């Protein structure tokens, strides 16, 4: 386990938060080392191949970056890698006192706290990915990262562009102070980016993504995901999940379900979620899954936190 600041601090009275990454953390060859060296990981990979109906392990181990960028591959791949990373943690490290996931990672968090079984969560991730892919194909849309501009200013410009042009533009990912991702139609995002830069943003950069995630343009995917969630068994969680759309601790199964559905068209309030976890006692964050993006975001939100990664 890689460690960040705070090594050597007494853990006795700390609350330990486990966090899980979303789409964008994938890379060619992901998970191969786990598959080759861990019998339990190999079993989960084969289980996933069966649930999904195709050998996602082959794409993860041998596919190109382009192969892994397909939403119907990316989301289950990141979910699978993250679960295996979580399951590989030495029990001596302790169990989560609270969990959260960035976008897709919320499904991983719900396996970690016992709300969903592995098979059920993977099935929902697959349904979600396919529904989102179809929604992307219906409308040309994209996302852009806005750096070093106050959240309220970004929100105001989005609202202004929508009102003036009729194009969809919304704040989508509140990643950390000074980093907010906007989402919407291609034209709306282009106009908004120019206005963000004129308003003083350090950068307003269109991202290489296939659609406007966490915006009203994902509405066509909502009914399909809602139906799949409604037919899936949810269990009582062992600890609270801090969900993206509400940025607070949730323990109620029905509320968890609704928040998962609302997340498709609602914002990922990651900054607010981490702040809420810290307010509720978290001082140690372990990121489980490919990459270390969330560790960096946690430290940008509060540099006093101890962070670690298991990948």
Q: What's the alpha-carbon Rg for the chain, to the nearest Å?
A: 19
Helical H segments across the chain, by residue range:
32-37, 39-52, 56-62, 65-68, 71-87, 105-112, 118-138, 151-165, 186-198, 219-230, 253-263, 270-279, 293-301
Q: Is 214 a catalytic residue?
A: yes
pLDDT of residue 90: 80
CATH value of 2-137+216-310 in 3.50.50.60, 3.40.50.261, 3.40.366.10, 3.40.50.300: 3.40.366.10
Give per-10-residue mean pLDDT for the chain (311 aa).
42 82 92 93 95 95 90 93 93 88 98 97 96 90 96 98 97 97 97 97 90 95 96 97 98 97 97 98 96 96 96 89
Catalytic residue among 34, 81, 102, 214: 214
Q: What is the pLDDT of residue 55?
A: 95
Arch. (CATH architecture) of 140-206: 2-Layer Sandwich (3.30)
48 contacts 121 by C-beta, under 8 angstroms: no
Residue 103: active-site member: yes
Domains of the chain, by residue range, sit at 2-137+216-310, 140-206
- Residue matched to tokens 């000074």: 178
Query: Of 103, 126, 215, 273, which is the active-site residue?
Result: 103
Task: Give the Cα-Cα-Cα angle 114, 118, 120 (nearest 5 degrees).
Answer: 100
């Amino acid at each position: 386990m890689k460690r960040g600041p705070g090594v050597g601090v007494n853990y006795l009275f700390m609350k330990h938060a486990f966090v899980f990454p979303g789409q964008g953390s994938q890379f060619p060859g992901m998970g191969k080392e786990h598959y080759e060296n861990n019998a339990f990981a190999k079993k989960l990979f084969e289980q996933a191949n069966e649930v999904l109906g195709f050998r996602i392990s082959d794409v993860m181990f041998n596919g190109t970056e382009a192969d892994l960028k397909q939403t119907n591959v990316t989301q289950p791949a990141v979910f699978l890698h993250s679960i295996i990373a979580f399951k590989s943690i030495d029990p001596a490290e302790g169990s989560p006192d609270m969990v959260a996931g960035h976008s897709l990672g919320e499904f991983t968090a719900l396996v970690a706290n016992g709300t969903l079984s592995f098979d059920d969560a993977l099935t929902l991730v697959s349904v979600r990915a396919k529904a989102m892919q179809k929604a992307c194909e219906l409308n040309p849309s994209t996302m852009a990262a806005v750096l070093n501009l106050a959240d309220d200013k970004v929100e105001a410009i989005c609202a202004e562009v929508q009102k003036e042009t009729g194009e969809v533009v919304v704040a989508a990912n509140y990643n950390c102070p000074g980093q907010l991702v906007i989402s919407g139609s291609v034209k709306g995002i282009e106009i908004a980016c120019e206005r963000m830069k004129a308003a003083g943003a350090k950068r307003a950069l269109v991202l290489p993504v296939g659609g406007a995630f966490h915006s009203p343009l994902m509405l066509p995917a909502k009914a399909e995901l809602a139906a799949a969630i409604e037919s899936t068994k949810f269990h009582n969680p062992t600890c609270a999940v801090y969900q993206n759309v509400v940025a607070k601790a949730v323990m109620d199964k029905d509320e968890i379900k609704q928040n998962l559905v609302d997340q498709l068209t609602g914002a990922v309030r990651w900054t607010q979620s981490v702040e809420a976890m810290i307010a509720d006692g978290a001082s140690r964050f372990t990121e489980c899954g490919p990459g270390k993006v969330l560790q960096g975001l946690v430290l940008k939100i509060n540099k006093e936190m101890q962070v670690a990664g298991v990948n």
